[in-house]
Structure 1
Amino acid sequence: MDRVNKKNLITGFICIVVLGLSLLGGGNAALSVWNQNVRILNPAENKELPIYCVDTKKKEISLTFDTAWGNEDINQVLKILKKENVKATFFFSGDWVQRFPADVKKIAKAGHDIGNHGDNHKYMTRLSSDEQKKEILGAHSKVQAVTGEQMELFRPPYGDYDENVVKTARQLNYEVIQWSVDSLDWKDISKQDIIERVCDNKKMENGAIILMHTGTVYTKQALPVIIKRLKSEGYTFVPVSRMILTKNFYIDPEGKQRRK
């Protein structure tokens, strides 16, 4: 049997069942069967997913830095961002905050987004729900003690997540943020490779979220080139908190946040 005929038979069968239930048990029973069928056809409908990028008509993108290693390049990165008038989003580990509180204050004072990267940079999926909460709240309390700010964005270390990690973070009033464009700067690839991985990435589009790191070898060298080139292509850099939707949205199976 060819696919078209098979599909028609299945559709016809569903219609017969729905009609029969409508006659026997009323519209609610029919609607229940239809809803169940929709859920079967859309298995990711109710799955908890993080945000990888945003569906937007604006030529806006977000530059993010995972900040969990050294601080030797922080001043250069901040200087570049200030010169280019770019506000970024920094995801701090609690350990980094404890080691470099003055830098945390400096970043916050410059008006950049501050996000949570876990207390000790652990693989979140290897932890129990209680341990996950401890990791998130540990970093939260350290940042709050240093800056007085309440964080609302969480990026799991290594991008390691499952549905339980997302649920746990949202129970703590955090939105989980991943990325759609990966610079791979943490691998200490060359300046030119970093530039090409970001600027020539097929996912570089409106609503893209770029992943970079502090404490790396070539990020500070590639950063001004990346910013200038993407600006020349018409993009505007905004912090993640300004780009994502906060209500009336859903996240599709590809991780793109869309308006309902």
Structure 2
Amino acid sequence: MRAVVQNDKNRAYGVTWLRGGIAVLAVAAIASGCAQFGGPPVRPAPGQEHPLQAPPARALDSYATKLHALYTARAAAARHWDLAKVPLAAPPPPAEKPRIRARRGFEVDDQEELDLPPVFTTVPTKQKVVFLTIDDGAEKDPAFLRMMSDLKIPYTAFLSNFLVKDDYAYFRRMQSEGVTLNNHTLTHPYLPGLSYREQKHEICGMQAIMRKQFGKRPTVFRPPYGDYNQDTLRAAKSCGIKYAPIWDEEVYVDHWEYREDDRDLHPGDIVLTHFRGRDEWNGTMVDDMRRFLDRVTADGYAVARLEDYL
């Protein structure tokens, strides 16, 4: 197992994180106490005779200690899972969510007129974040669940019923960790080769399974293979789907594949991988995640939760 490299960039990030949190509290403390100095006393309004007081210094110490403990725990998890660096923490979700539109060239006929779910590969944001999405559900590796829980890495799962029905409990454990479970059809067919009625059965039938097994019908759907037509999006909309993200990069246990010619990550990119193991790959899902996390961290990206931006 190789040691985690705590380089200057990671140390600087951790220090900035701590100082930023303390600064927020300090500003609040100063604001609450500023009327005591440099000006005439201010009479409190009726009902506000007990103005806010600056928090004691021990409150700031406690907050800093908590932030430091969170970073320390993530660093320990990174060492345990043999990562090259400590993954960067995602920024807070945007206060105003970006407007999601279909990627140019990925629209279908009457896309806007019918208000169909947009197909997109990147979320519009300037933050250095990417979104991890994992498809189908064939491999059910308990070590993968432990790794992602230890590291507190968010991800989104797109499930196909024929692959998950033998162990719904595995995905309920995943859901209990805050992972959003989304629709990837009943049987993972090539949807454009089916009629509208057949496509609706595949998508809306999976919506019913998701509600029964996981408590809710998702609003996010990924067409198998990233292939779709107008009937696909019409069928998806009919049973509550609002978004149809696909991907900009795909990571495997031994390589990456790219949609763009620059073969690089970009702010807001959606990254795809699959629930796969040694039966199909030369490695495990833990190996796959190690490759993914080492790459995005080295490039200065954090992994954010897709649903926080939708």
TM-score > 0.5, shorter chain as reference: yes
Which amino acid is 1:140 matched to? Q
The answer to whether the aligner puts 1:51 opposite 2:120 as a matched pair is: yes
Equivalent of 1:138 in 201, 205, 213: 205
Q: Which has the higher contact order (CA 8 A, sep 6+)?
A: 1
**Aligned-partner Cα distance in 1 for 2:149–2:177:** 8
Which amino acid is 1:214 matched to? F
**Aligned-partner Cα distance in 2 for 1:215–1:205:** 25
| 1:87 CA drift (Å) | 1.0
Aligned to 1:11: none
Aligned to 1:60: 129
- Name the SS of the counterpart of 1:54 in structure 2: coil
**Aligned-partner Cα distance in 2 for 1:89–1:101:** 16
TM-score (norm. length: structure 2): 0.56
Q: Which runs of 5+ in 2 are unaligned?
A: 1-104
- Name the SS of the counterpart of 1:153 in structure 2: coil
**Aligned-partner Cα distance in 1 for 2:178–2:262:** 28
Decide whether the 8 Å contact of 2:184 with 2:222 is kept in 1: yes
Deviations 1:203-237 (A, max 9, x none): 41101000100023334213123214413433221
Aligned to 2:250: 182
| 1:114 CA drift (Å) | 0.9
TM-score (norm. length: structure 1): 0.66
Question: 1:92-103 counterparts in 2 under 5 A?
Answer: 92-103=159-170
Equivalent of 2:291 in 225, 250, 253: 225
Q: Which runs of 5+ in 1 are unaligned?
A: 1-41, 186-190, 245-260
Deviations 1:16-70 (A, max 9, x none): xxxxxxxxxxxxxxxxxxxxxxxxxx9x695465111112111121101002424
Q: 1:229 to 1:83 in 2, by over 3 A?
A: farther
Decide whether the 8 Å contact of 1:179 with 1:208 is kept in 2: yes
| 1:239 CA drift (Å) | 2.4
Which amino acid is 1:131 matched to? E
Decide whether the 8 Å contact of 2:183 with 2:220 is kept in 1: yes
Decide whether the 8 Å contact of 1:51 with 1:179 is kept in 2: yes
Decide whether the 8 Å contact of 1:101 with 1:146 is kept in 2: yes
Structure number with the higher helix fraction is: 1
**Aligned-partner Cα distance in 2 for 1:172–1:224:** 36
Structure 1 runs of 4+ with >6 Å offset:
none
Decide whether the 8 Å contact of 1:87 with 1:113 is kept in 2: no
Deviations 1:74-129 (A, max 9, x none): x1222221122111000001223321111121111111121100011111111111
- Name the SS of the counterpart of 1:63 in structure 2: strand
Equivalent of 1:109 in 170, 176, 179: 176
Decide whether the 8 Å contact of 1:61 with 1:236 is kept in 2: yes
The answer to whether the aligner puts 1:207 opposite 2:268 as a matched pair is: yes
Aligned to 1:153: 220
CA RMSD in angstroms, aligned pairs only: 2.7
Q: 1:203 to 1:228 in 2, by over 3 A?
A: closer
Q: 1:54 to 1:156 in 2, by over 3 A?
A: same
